[in-house]
Amino acid sequence: MAETPRHHIAMWGAPGSGKTTLLAALSVALNRRDDDWKIVGQNPESSAYLTDMTSALTSGKEFPEASTALETYQWALIGPGPTGLFRRQRTSTMIGLTMVDAPGGHFAPSKGRTGGAEERQEELMANLTQSRGIVFLFDPIREFEVGDAYDHLHGPLNRLAEKMLEADQFENGKLPHNIAVCITKFDDPRVLQTAQKQRLLSPDLDDKHQFPRVAVEDARELFRELSRVSATGSAEMVMNALDKFFHRDRIRFYVTSSIGFYLDQQTETFDWNDYLNLVPDEADKAALRIRGPVYPINVVEPMLWLGECLAKQGRSR
Amino acid sequence: MTESPATVHHVTVDYEWALEGKPPGSYNDYEVLEHSGGLGLEIFDEIRSRYTTGATGDQPQVTIAFVGTRQGGQKLYYIVLALQNEWSGHRDGTNRKIYYTRWFYVPYDQIAGHRVSYEALYDAFKDLGDERPPRVAVRADANLPSETFEDAISAAGLLMTGEPVCVVGAEQVPMVKRLRFIDEVASLLPYGMRARLAAATWVSATAGHRIRLSFAPHAPDGTHKVVWARGAPIPPAERTATAYVEQLTHRRVPLEELVERLAQKTTELPFRDKGPHIALVLLGECAVPAAKNHAVAGPSSADADEPAAGGDAPTQILESPPKGAGQTVAMPRPPTTLGGLIISFRKAVDPAEISEGLRVLLAAADTDEGRRQLQKALRTWDCFEAVIRRHPSADRLYEELAEAAFAHDIYQNEIADELLRTRAIPKPFKAALRAMRGEDPGPGWKRMLPRKGKRHIYGGSALVVGGVLLMITSLNFFSGPDLPVAPPAGSAPAGVAFVPQQVVIQADEPDQYLAHVYAQLLRNLGHRADVQDVGPLDPARPQIVITTDSAPYPRHEPLMTAQSKSTLVFDADEIPADRVESVLKEAKLTVEVGTDFPDEAKLKAEFGELPLKRKPISQIVEDIKGGEVALAILPSGRAEIAPPYQESPLLDGLLPPRTVQVLSSGLPAGTEANLEGVAERVAEKWRTDPGGADQPETAAKFADSIMPAVEPPSTPPATPVTTIKDADGFTVPTGVLVFVGAVLILIIGVVALVWSPARVPDEPW
Amino acid sequence: MTTESEAHPVPNPDDDLLRKALAKAVAGLTGSGRLDVVEVAADGVTSFKIIRDDHGVPRGRRWHTQWIDLAQEHGAQEHGAQERGAVLRAADIDPDGDAVLVFSSPGGSRAEQAFEWLRSARPDAPALRVDDSVATVVTEVLRTDPLTRSYDLVVLRPRTDGSLELATVPLFPVQARPGATTTLPLHCERGGPNGTAFAVVTWQGHEPLLLSVESAALPPGSYEVTAELRRPGRVRFSGLPPLSADPRGWAALIAEVPPRLPLRPSGAGHLICAIEVCGVEEKVAERVGRARQVVSTLSNRPGLAVSVVAYGAHSFDRSVKDPRVEVRAWRVDVATAQGVLDELEDRGPITAGYPYHPHAAQLEDMLATVDRRLAADPASPVALLTIGDRPPHPPRIDSSRVLPCPHRHDWRATVTRLEQTWNVVFGAVVDHQAGGPLPRVWQRLGSAALANFDALDIRGLTSGLGLTSDPVPVPFPLIDVE
């Protein structure tokens, strides 16, 4: 089989911001769509990961454990071909993705030059310099409680810029990467209500579940609004840092939720009175389990956008 | 394996420890919470992050690693033991469980020589919990295994290739058993290699881990795969590994003695570069009976140099000359002098005489003195090229010659170097020599050019590719735009070309039906497939093998396994249950059996001339329904066997159950997934009635019924190259794009030829 | 309150003059002042001391000294200063108080002389000459003195939530004259050993002063009571069985007032026990044990109907069905109820572990079920005793992040409806650890009787629920009782 061009996409975010959960929800999200995009593992261990994680989210109803090692998955997004006017037959497009999911600690500012942190940074940089797609996860709840999103951004970002400059990969003054900034945990009542107060909710009419959504144009506004409540107030700098280092047309904001909202069983529609999709676990009082079926929101869109951008640039690593 | 406490001998060792986890409610990642004073935090932290296995979840696991540190000018090696996934009872800031990992560092020199097993270390530390006694007693002289299995031997052998080994198919095996397996493999290696062995009872297949011997659900590419409880073939190109396994299997000492003597070889020995060769030599010494040993000039001290990236300690590299040379046995020899044999061999003419002469010659040259004489003869007579040339399998002879002459002192051997340099020496001989020296045995012409020529090769090949591309695109230009351009490899943007495969299907005689079924399935999937029997194929070529023994195909993907057991069915009205045996003995009634009934000989042996009538199973089933048959042998568990017909257990002992395995290799992922999807129904069909008279047609019909022919996702060969439309809507003619690409590759080729890049990138491991 | 005109015998002119003077003087008497009325009669000098007691009731005392006594005092022979002093001492007139001099023995020279002395001593005091005894007139005036303080009757008024409030009802306003009567409807409960006390009080600033109290054992019921002011300080009640004097003091009376109106166990009474049967095994067993204790203490009540309702926790997993609220028994007698409770205890908790919500229970569903059942048979007064510790699920998502009730029941609305339409009395036994305020729901559900799970006061609970066999005595009459 002809070796398809592979695109490297790296997940970037603080520990517990939902990187592994987002990947776990990817195949469920694709199954929820009615176009025929699908995801297939390109080696046995990557497809094993897809099946395990999907069953963990749907039947096991539990969140993935904190990842301890930097994982690399080889997947292929297969979907409908480009529908141009002149195209007579429909061909399939296939985007080869190499997803890199590093534990959040890799991005943390290293306290002192401990050997391990050095090694972890090397490992991380090796991936980031190769990849041209980045999924940056901004966890508003963590930002509200701890406020260290900027710490997990500027360290690795400067190191990345240094390495790219050294390898002369800058494109007219900015990094060549395409970056999808995902605001996660949209299903948390505090985030949903913030969006509602700012009147950023625009329901998607043909969505039979009538989930509240934040359009891509408003997502940037919601990001700014959520940064304002940061515990250390350093969140505004995240926006500026992103604008400085990435081209304006290569940044896109998405408001995402890996587990989505709880749907009323009978009406299968969103119910403003009862939408929390988490239920406390009796056995271990503090534990939270996923309550109902999972309806990921905006989990596939960033991947597709990144895939298409990378394919367009013909950049294959 | 438990011995009475009295005889268990213990050795008390110091140790350093570290606790890895998170403070409750922490928002950060895992870190070293506390550690003993003996070593600095940076060493604990670095080893912790270097040997992460990604095996999360609440199953306790064990990881074994090593670290070499420089303390006070003196080098100290530690064996590292990590007890992972201990539930801490707390949760972190985002409500996830916090798991503790307890790291224990045991100085290598305190356990070397006492044959301490990893399991003993695990038993010593696993119940410590939070107490920290200054010293710990570890069970020594681990008991010696009476027999070992093929998976352990092949794992040990594969370790000699220097690449990591991954054991698959051990999901259900309890953790302690897996730890014992690691011990078993390590006991087949010189003890010194334990100072450089990183092993783990479970790893995440997708984590970029650096564990050399690991267990995982799948073996990532770039690692050798060993299936649990089943051996694994050694790639023929890996000469040391093959020799190692050879020595292990054909050892001339009992296993206990071998393991015990291997355990004495305690100097640190790496798994890369020269380490495996030294290990082979050490094994050689241990594998021969000790009594007949005598000193022979041992191999000179190999400089076990090891580049840093190999996962050794950052601080320094260790030179460790192997201890005293091993002894080789001197077999009693017939008096005829070696010189005479050489002369007679040189006169040999016909192939039989040549091979016989060589055999005698090599047998005689078994002593060191003889070997040196043989080496000189090789130099003088250009490896008897004039003689061996006339033999049909000359290459094999050259290899044997090289093996016999230089096996024991391949390094620092002037004669070997000289032979390598002289042009007249035949190529296979030089290849054998180089393989024995552990250099990349690669195709001869690659070795011909001096090392720095590699850059020229890259440049040259880029030049060729660029030229070909240029020619295709220019041809395409002049012949008009609508001619669909064949998708040039590599540079085509995202569009995929669905290239149909030529798939070969092989099956033994009785499984032709299955072969035809799969052939039709593949045709339906758009590939060309046909049933042939061409013997072992190269795994890279797309193929499907249907066989009852899957051992010789380790790298193949199992598509389907089915088991069919046939039993004797009799008509209770005609033959009462107790008289069935006597009726069979009298051999009056005919017994209807399936067309490809394999065990006819057995039946005849048991019941003498029993008349058998071969009919397709479906036909027999009709007869049973109609009640015309008295005795029949059918696959068991058929719905149609209703009273008055009953199954009799009489022949069960006689008719062995047949398990059939369908293995595939080289098939595209999508096709494999499709075939696996229908495996169940195929197995069911095969179990019930494996094909009537005209097997190919019924098989094809059945295959169409379960998977109709699907129009391949895109038209065959000349698929138009698909392009992703740019955001602003105009399509860039791909022809132009390919042309530009070709020119670019050309330029790169030229540049590579002229200008030498700063550093050829080091291969990853 | 109607006041009749005073009935009087026809007064002769000078009596009338004396009466008017005395009445004016007595009316002018303030709380602390004193009025001296000296009568110089033929046989001697009589001095009347009139003061007002705390209640403003005029009280008089009389001293009489014969002329001869006077003589002995200063020896027979010399008249003049000593005799005058003796007469004045006998008269004992308070120099700064009011005084009235009366001459009632015409012709006697000594009386004339003494009168002259008295007049000279108190020229400002009015001096009158009458011809018959002053005593009757004085008592007559004191008896007809208009009230200087209003007289009130002590009663109990039940508040809406059943607790009792001490109050007074005005009987006679100030200036009321004896013979005034007021009639008012009263309601009496069983009064305990001393019966129901009718206490008249006057107001000393903000403090009520017990003027008089009479009591009698009255059968519970409503009465039309007429109070008549016989004379200042003396009120007579009619329309009641004969009252007798009551020795109890004000403090003793107040002490006997019960905190809340004991429900008249007129009907048989219907106790609903709602028990939370989810959570830890021992807790469920304990809750059922508490319910059995309450039921067994009421076993001697005739005709008591008991219902047992058990509720668990909501399940929030599609595949696991939500356990329904079980009405184990409805309006059964005590014995059957105890049997049902035993079954409940053996069964133990019905919902445990995931996916049942660990922090809340189906309280709102239980209330809705009880409401539905009561709509079916709204017969006798109902008491709902809830035994549990987990709060209910809210109708919508709120700050508590407890998942809302799948059926969207609103427990607040249900509780209010139960109170208003079926006037259910709410009692609760809550396992509420100290620390932190009692959640709103338990304050509502334990409004009539709230008991802590560990320190359970069965009697207080049952009486609070109005189901106790021996009602609490109510010492005072009640007014405004629906």
Rounded Cα gap, residues C263 and C258, in angstroms: 12
Q: Identify any residues that bridge with C267 across adjacent strands, giving them in sequence order.
A: none
Q: What is the pLDDT of residue A246?
A: 92
Q: Identify any residues that bridge with B631 across adjacent strands, giving them in sequence order.
A: B570, B591
Mean pLDDT of B285-296: 61
B174-226 pLDDT, tens per residue? 999 999 999 999 999 999 999 999 999 999 988 888 899 999 999 888 899 99
Q: Which residues of C fall within a CB distance of 8 Å from A282?
A: 352-354, 356-358
Mean pLDDT of A168-187: 90
3-state secondary structure B450-479: CHHHHHHHHHHHHHHHHHHHHHHHHHHHHC
Rounded Cα gap, residues B656 and B586, in angstroms: 24
Whether C239 and chain A come into contact, CB under 8 Å, resolves to: no
Q: Which residues of C328-364 are buried (b: 16+ CB within 10 A; e: fewer)?
A: bbebbebeebbebbeebbeeebbbbebbbbbebbbbb
Q: Exposed (0-12), middle (13-18) or buried (19+): which is C452, by Cβ within 10 Å?
A: middle
**DSSP string for residues in B659-707:** EEEEEEES--HHHHHHHHHHHHHHHHHHHH----SSHHHHHHHHHHHHS
Q: pLDDT higher for C309 or C447?
A: C309
Please give the torsion angle defined by the CA atoms of residues B753, B754, B756 and B760, in that order, rounded to the nearest 10 degrees: -10
Contacts of B520 (CB under 8 A, 6+ apart): B699, B700, B703, B704
Q: What is the pLDDT of residue B304?
A: 37
> What crossing angle do the helices spanning A19-32 and A300-313 adopt, rounded to 10°?
90
Q: Are C325 and C365 in contact (CB under 8 A)?
A: yes
C204-227 pLDDT, tens per residue? 888 888 888 888 888 878 888 888
Q: What is the pLDDT of residue A85?
A: 60
Checking if the pLDDT of A228 tops 70, the result is yes
Q: Do C354 and A274 touch (CB under 8 A)?
A: no
Minimal C-alpha gap between B304 and chain A (Å): 25
Mean pLDDT of B412-429: 80
Query: Encoding tokens for residue C433?
Result: 């650890």
Q: What is the pLDDT of residue B638?
A: 66
Checking if the pLDDT of B164 tops 90, the result is yes
Q: Do C318 and A280 touch (CB under 8 A)?
A: no
Q: What is the pLDDT of residue B729?
A: 39
Which amino acid appears at position B573 of this protein? D
Q: Are B559 and B550 in contact (CB under 8 A)?
A: no
| Segment of A238-247, A276-285, B369-378, B427-436 carrying the highest mean pLDDT | A238-247
Whether B722 and chain A come into contact, CB under 8 Å, resolves to: yes
Minimal C-alpha gap between A316 and chain B (Å): 9
Checking if the pLDDT of C250 tops 60, the result is yes
Topology (CATH) of B566-651 = D-Maltodextrin-Binding Protein; domain 2 (3.40.190)
Checking if the pLDDT of B315 tops 50, the result is no
Q: pLDDT higher for C377 or B725?
A: C377
**DSSP string for residues in A221-238:** HHHHHHHHT-SSS-HHHH
**DSSP string for residues in B286-302:** HHS-STTEE---PPPPP
Rounded Cα gap, residues B641 and B637, in angstroms: 8
Least confident span in A40-49, B363-372, B512-521, B723-732:
B723-732
Checking if the pLDDT of B607 tops 60, the result is yes
| B502-563+658-706: CATH architecture | 3-Layer(aba) Sandwich (3.40)
A62-100 pLDDT, tens per residue? 888 888 888 889 898 888 876 656 655 557 788 888 888
User: Coil, strand or helix: which one is A212?
Assistant: coil
Least confident span in B587-591, B742-746, C82-86, C362-366:
B587-591
Is the domain covering B13-139 a CATH 1.20.58 domain?
no
Minimal C-alpha gap between A142 and chain C (Å): 18
Residue pairs between chains A and B whose CB atoms are closer than 8 Å: 177
Q: pLDDT higher for B749 or A174?
A: A174
Q: Do A120 and B56 touch (CB under 8 A)?
A: no
Domain boundaries along the sequence of chain B: 13-139, 150-328, 338-448, 461-496+732-754, 502-563+658-706, 566-651
Mark out the alpha helices in C160-269 (DSSP H runs): 250-255
Mean pLDDT of B753-759: 55
Question: What CATH number should be reported for the domain whose range is A6-81+91-313?
Answer: 3.40.50.300
A285-311 pLDDT, tens per residue? 677 888 888 999 999 999 989 988 888
Least confident span in A207-211, B572-576, C39-43:
B572-576
Cis peptide leading into B542, omega within 30 of 0?
no
Q: Do C318 and A293 touch (CB under 8 A)?
A: yes
- Closest in A72, A95, A120 to B206, CB measured: A72
DSSP code at position A127: H
Percent of chain B whose predicted confidence (pLDDT) is above 70: 77
Mean pLDDT of chain B: 75
User: Coil, strand or helix: which one is B732?
Assistant: coil
User: Coil, strand or helix: which one is B303?
Assistant: coil
Q: Do A68 and B209 touch (CB under 8 A)?
A: no
- Identify the sign of the CA torsion B724, B730, B731, B733: negative
Q: Do B494 and A95 touch (CB under 8 A)?
A: yes
Domain annotation for chain C: domains and CATH numbers? 13-143 (3.30.420), 151-255 (no CATH), 270-464 (3.40.50.410)
Q: What is the pLDDT of residue B669?
A: 67
The HSE-up count of residue B533 (CA atoms within 13 Å, CB side) is 8
Rounded Cα gap, residues C233 and C58, in angstroms: 9
Q: Are B365 and B404 in contact (CB under 8 A)?
A: yes
Q: What is the pLDDT of residue C383?
A: 87
Structural element, H or E, at residue C37 = strand C34-40
Checking if the pLDDT of B760 tops 80, the result is no
Checking if the pLDDT of C137 tops 70, the result is yes
Checking if the pLDDT of C470 tops 70, the result is no
Mean pLDDT of B237-262: 87
Domain B13-139 and domain B566-651, same fold? Reply is no
Checking if the pLDDT of B25 tops 50, the result is yes
Whether B538 and chain A come into contact, CB under 8 Å, resolves to: no
Cite the beta strand spans of B179-320 per DSSP E: 199-200, 213-215, 224-227, 293-294
Mean pLDDT of chain A: 85
Percent of chain C whose predicted confidence (pLDDT) is above 70: 90
Rounded to 5 degrees, φ, ψ at A313 are -75, -10
- Short-list B205, B206, B204, CA closest to B84: B204
Q: What is the pLDDT of residue A292?
A: 80
Rounded Cα gap, residues A41 and B669, in angstroms: 8
User: Coil, strand or helix: which one is C387?
Assistant: strand
ipTM of the complex: 0.64
Whether C319 and chain A come into contact, CB under 8 Å, resolves to: no
Which amino acid appears at position B592 of this protein? E
3-state secondary structure B386-448: HHHCCCCCHHHHHHHHHHHHHCCCCCCCHHHHHHHHCCCCCHHHHHHHHHHHCCCCCCHHHHH
B386-411 pLDDT, tens per residue? 888 888 888 888 888 888 887 777 66
C11-60 pLDDT, tens per residue? 556 678 888 888 888 888 777 788 888 888 878 888 888 888 878 888 88
| Segment of B193-207, C111-125, C220-234, C371-385 carrying the highest mean pLDDT | B193-207
Which amino acid appears at position C393 of this protein? H
> Considering just the CA atoms, what is the radius of gyration of chain A in Å?
19
Least confident span in C111-115, C294-298, C394-398:
C111-115
Q: Identify any residues that bridge with B178 across adjacent strands, giving them in sequence order.
A: none
Q: Which residues of B446-456 are buried (b: 16+ CB within 10 A; e: fewer)?
A: ebeeeeeeebe
Q: What is the pLDDT of residue B105?
A: 93
- Closest in B42, B92, B722 to A82, CB measured: B722
Least confident span in A25-29, B369-373, B469-473, C183-187:
B469-473
Mean pLDDT of chain C: 81
Minimal C-alpha gap between A199 and chain B (Å): 28
Q: Exposed (0-12), middle (13-18) or buried (19+): which is B381, by Cβ within 10 Å?
A: middle
Contacts of B378 (CB under 8 A, 6+ apart): B384, B401, B405, B415, B419
- Short-list B253, B310, B315, B244, CA closest to B283: B244
Checking if the pLDDT of B685 tops 90, the result is no
Q: Do A274 and C403 touch (CB under 8 A)?
A: yes
Rounded to 5 degrees, φ, ψ at A238 are -60, -45
A partners (3+ CB pairs within 8 A) are: B, C
Q: pLDDT higher for A135 or C69?
A: A135
Checking if the pLDDT of B79 tops 60, the result is yes
Q: Identify any residues that bridge with B592 across adjacent strands, giving them in sequence order.
A: B613, B632
Q: Are C349 and C278 in contact (CB under 8 A)?
A: yes
Checking if the pLDDT of B739 tops 60, the result is yes
Which amino acid appears at position B217 of this protein? P
Q: Do A291 and C359 touch (CB under 8 A)?
A: no
> Considering just the CA atoms, what is the radius of gyration of chain C in Å?
36
> How many other CB atoms are found less than 10 A from the CB of residue B373?
19
Q: Are A110 and A122 in contact (CB under 8 A)?
A: no
Banded pLDDT at B725 (limits 50, 70, 90): very low
Mean pLDDT of B496-511: 70
Checking if the pLDDT of B442 tops 50, the result is no
Banded pLDDT at B694 (limits 50, 70, 90): low
Q: What is the pLDDT of residue A257?
A: 93
Rounded Cα gap, residues B43 and B17, in angstroms: 11
Mean pLDDT of B107-126: 90
Least confident span in B285-299, B355-369, B560-574, B579-593:
B285-299
- Closest in C316, C353, C404 to A283, CB measured: C353
Mark out the alpha helices in chain A (DSSP H runs): 19-32, 44-55, 115-130, 140-145, 151-166, 189-197, 216-228, 235-245, 300-313
Checking if the pLDDT of C119 tops 80, the result is yes
Q: Which residues of A fall within a CB distance of 8 Å from C353?
A: 282-283
Q: What is the pLDDT of residue B723?
A: 37
Whether B727 and chain A come into contact, CB under 8 Å, resolves to: yes
Least confident span in A208-222, B193-207, C96-110:
C96-110
Q: What is the pLDDT of residue B712?
A: 43
Which of C320, C322, C354 to mutate against chain A (most A CBs within 10 Å)?
C354
Q: Are B610 and B602 in contact (CB under 8 A)?
A: no
| Segment of A32-41, A114-123, B310-319 carrying the highest mean pLDDT | A32-41
Q: How far is CA A309 from its chain centroid? A: 16
Q: Give the CA distances from residue C457 to residues B517, C42, C209, C452, C454, in Å, rounded to whole numbers and listed in that order.
A: 83, 76, 36, 8, 9
Q: Do B673 and A40 touch (CB under 8 A)?
A: yes
- Short-list C88, C72, C425, CA closest to C270: C425
Q: Are C240 and C216 in contact (CB under 8 A)?
A: yes
Whether C contacts B, i.e. 3 or more CB pairs less than 8 A apart, is: no
